[in-house]
């Protein structure tokens, strides 16, 4: 649905993004990870048409977004969101829809305010907590029921309760609409709760990471070599590696029990080594 091909972005002689290629399809909830200055916000601004790529194309349904007008009507953005502090949440949403010629969603304002748990009253945004302001920005992103939502660091500045609330809102929306989400964040533990794909930006280049890199694992060592290794690996998708007399599995409830039931009593489990997910090294 959304395709980035050979994207390059330079400022003068400095290359910010280089040879960026990836697709986003229905149901994808993608975590965009990278150090400060890696180019995450720049990449999102290219998708939002706030900037143009120096090279390459970004296409939505096979149409170049930087050539075709009004192609972003299916998109919602939470990137440096602008709101008026002296307006109420309702007034901000009304202004946002009218200035973007999307008056057909005016009757959705009450629903979206209820969804993000903001009281629909005359309280001005300047009197909101930071978490409430973030939820207003999310409402502005989702009010048009976008097929693609792009959120830049939505968890920054939120306390644990605020993070929890935001994650629940994103989970509910994604389940209801099957929208595509691209979410940048340094907070891997939060992304793990909602994302099904992960992209890592480093030195201007991007690569896709396996979701298992963000899971704690267990290394199981048995007395004898494992029989039918290929069959076991095909049957249990939580196995990350199997070789000789060892099996590495994702450390989640019942995974160890399932493996033990399958192998039986003929091959004794000698040792269990817990392996913590090493995603911190990505930022070094």
Q: Which two tokens stand for residue 12?
A: 């003068």
Walking along the chain (284 residues) 10 residues at a time, the average pLDDT comes out as: 95 94 93 89 95 95 90 91 93 95 94 87 90 92 94 88 88 88 88 91 89 83 90 88 92 88 87 80 60
Q: For residue 48, give the 3-state DSSP assignment.
A: coil
Q: What are phi and psi of 4, to 5 degrees?
A: -110, 125
Q: Is the pTM of this model over 0.75?
A: yes
**Can you give the length of the chain in residues?**
284
Q: For residue 131, give the 3-state DSSP assignment.
A: helix
What CATH number matches the domain at 2-209, 3.40.50.720, 1.10.10.10, 3.40.50.410, 3.40.50.300? 3.40.50.300
- For residue 68, what are the CA distances in angstroms to 46, 49, 182, 202, 253? 14, 11, 22, 30, 49
Q: Which two tokens stand for residue 142?
A: 């989702």
pLDDT for 14: 93
pLDDT for 280: 60
pLDDT for 281: 61
Topology annotation, domain 216-283: Alpha-Beta Plaits (3.30.70)
For residue 34, how many C-alpha atoms fall within 13 Å in the half-sphere facing its CB? 26
Spatial CB neighbours of 80, under 8 Å, sequence gap ≥ 6: 152
pLDDT for 203: 87
Give the dihedral of Cα atoms 50, 54, 56, 59; nearest 10 deg: 10
Taking the domains of the chain in order of start, what are their residue ranges?
A: 2-209, 216-283
Taking residue 163's Cβ as centre, other Cβ atoms within 10 Å add up to 20
| β-sheet with 239-243: strand ranges across | 239-243, 246-250, 217-222, 269-275
Rounded-to-integer distance, Cα 141 and Cα 182, Å: 12
pLDDT for 2: 95
Q: For residue 209, give the 3-state DSSP assignment.
A: strand
Rounded-to-integer distance, Cα 2 and Cα 47, Å: 9
Residue 228, by phi and psi: left (phi above 0), alpha (psi -120 to 50) or beta?
Answer: left
Q: Which two tokens stand for residue 67?
A: 């050539």
Rounded-to-integer distance, Cα 39 and Cα 35, Å: 9
Closest-CA residue to 52 (of 3, 21, 10):
10
What's the alpha-carbon Rg for the chain, to the nearest Å? 22
């Amino acid at each position: 649905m959304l395709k980035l091909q050979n994207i390059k972005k330079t400022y003068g002689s400095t290359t910010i993004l280089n040879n960026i290629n990836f697709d986003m399809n229905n149901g994808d909830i993608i975590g965009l990870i990278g150090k400060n200055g890696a180019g995450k916000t720049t990449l999102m601004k290219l998708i939002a048409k706030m900037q143009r790529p120096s090279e390459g194309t970004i296409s939505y349904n096979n149409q170049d977004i930087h050539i075709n007008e009004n192609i972003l009507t299916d998109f919602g953005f939470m990137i440096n969101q602008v709101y008026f502090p002296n307006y109420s949440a309702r007034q901000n949403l009304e202004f946002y829809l009218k200035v973007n010629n999307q008056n057909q969603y005016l009757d959705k304002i009450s629903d979206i305010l209820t969804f993000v748990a903001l009281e629909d009253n005359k309280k001005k945004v300047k009197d909101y907590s930071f978490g409430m302001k973030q939820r207003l920005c999310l409402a502005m992103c989702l009010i048009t029921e976008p097929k693609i939502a792009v959120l830049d660091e939505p968890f920054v500045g939120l306390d644990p309760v605020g993070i929890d609330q935001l994650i629940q809102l994103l989970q509910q929306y994604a389940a209801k609409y099957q929208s595509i989400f691209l979410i940048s964040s340094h907070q891997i533990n939060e992304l793990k709760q909602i994302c099904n794909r992960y992209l890592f930006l480093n030195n201007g280049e991007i690569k896709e990471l396996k979701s298992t890199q963000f899971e704690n694992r267990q290394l199981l060592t048995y007395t004898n070599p494992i029989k039918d290794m290929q069959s076991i690996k095909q049957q249990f998708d939580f196995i990350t590696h199997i070789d000789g007399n060892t099996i590495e599995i994702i450390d989640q409830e019942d995974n160890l029990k399932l493996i033990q039931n399958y192998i039986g009593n003929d091959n004794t489990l000698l040792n269990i080594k817990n392996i913590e997910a090493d995603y911190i090294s990505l930022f070094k």
